[in-house]
Amino acid sequence: MDFIRAIILGIIEGITEWLPISSTGHLIIAEEFIRLNQSAAFKEMFDVVIQLGAILSVVVLYFHKLNPFNKLNPKDKQKTPREIQLTWRLWLKVLIAALPAAIIGLPLNDWLDAHFYHFVPVAFMLIIYGIAFIVIERQWVPHHEFSVFNIDRLPYRFALYIGLFQVLSLLPGTSRSGATIVGALLIGVSREVAAEFTFFLGIPVMFGASLVKIFHFFKNGNSLNLEQFSVLLLACLVAFGVSMLAIKFLMNYVKKHDFTFFGKYRIVLGAVLLVYAAVKAIVG
């Protein structure tokens, strides 16, 4: 049964990691009803490491753009010196944006998990950022023109600002992509560039978070048996495939729509969670 659960959780991760609706929040909700028959330490590590599948999908879809070298395959298109330079600049911007989360997030990681990895905090963060999306799209964007329509022209200081907004996503339920997109819109970055930069920013952030969780898992004396490894690998592979579709969907969606729908979805889901938490507390 854990293999079936891993597939379901992989699908949820693949859909929600890149859409601004909080993958962590959805995994917390899912695990209320779909529990892996594994240790608590494994499940805590699983929730983070499953993101590696989602990361790989970005690397595959944007490999030519992210590859800072001329080419690795003889069949690849030859990059011009200018394109190579822009790729290195893009990686520098990504690393600059990743620094705030690394500096602030690592020391607070365990404390935040202990105090906010629960239904009610997740519900409130879903609602708060849902409202933020609607207000920004309806009140802010119509009166402020976008100044960045090409990711190559994203200023370094804008990358840092987006990285600072990403720190807010340390609270479960916020959504890493949600926080960075909100920040990007506020400083004048177009929806397409905001979404694309969020994808790239996820590579070092999620890879680093996964390494930290794996390190703590083994440091605390835990071991990974064949069944656990298979469950984790299956979930990552499913998350990879579904993420490929989710990323393509979001990039096509933002060309014609704003983020208001995601704001409404977050509010409704957050409200449902608060009701569920209240009923659960009453019933005991």
- Is the pLDDT at 16 greater than 80? The verdict is yes
Mean pLDDT of 63-77: 78
Question: Residue 73 — pLDDT band, cuts 50, 70, 90?
Answer: low
Question: Residue 136 — pLDDT band, cuts 50, 70, 90?
Answer: very high
Question: Residue 163 — pLDDT band, cuts 50, 70, 90?
Answer: very high
Do the beta carbons of residue 194 and residue 159 sit within 8 Å?
no
Mean pLDDT of 120-139: 94
- Is the pLDDT at 117 greater than 80? The verdict is no
Residue 223, Cβ density class (10 Å: 0-12 exposed, 13-18 middle, ≥19 buried)? exposed
Mean pLDDT of 139-155: 95
Q: What does the pLDDT read at residue 131?
A: 97
Query: What is the average pLDDT score of the chain?
Result: 91
Residue 232 CA to residue 209 CA, distance in Å, equals: 16
Q: What does the pLDDT read at residue 74?
A: 64
Q: What does the pLDDT read at residue 266?
A: 95
- Is the pLDDT at 112 greater than 90? The verdict is no
Mean pLDDT of 9-37: 88
Q: What does the pLDDT read at residue 204?
A: 93
Domain enclosing residue 104, as ranges = 1-283
- Is the pLDDT at 72 greater than 70? The verdict is no
Q: Which residues contact 33 (CB under 8 A, 6 or more apart)?
A: none
Lowest-confidence segment of 23-32, 79-88, 148-157, 215-224 by average pLDDT: 23-32
Q: Which two tokens stand for residue 221?
A: 């004396």
- Is the pLDDT at 106 greater than 80? The verdict is no
Residue 44 CA to residue 113 CA, distance in Å, equals: 10
Q: How many domains does the chain have?
A: 1
Mean pLDDT of 217-238: 94
- Is the pLDDT at 64 greater than 70? The verdict is yes
Q: What does the pLDDT read at residue 104?
A: 87
- What is the percent of the chain where pLDDT is above 70? 98
Nearest to 203 by CA among 180, 219, 182: 180
Q: What does the pLDDT read at residue 31?
A: 80
Do the beta carbons of residue 235 and residue 7 sit within 8 Å?
yes
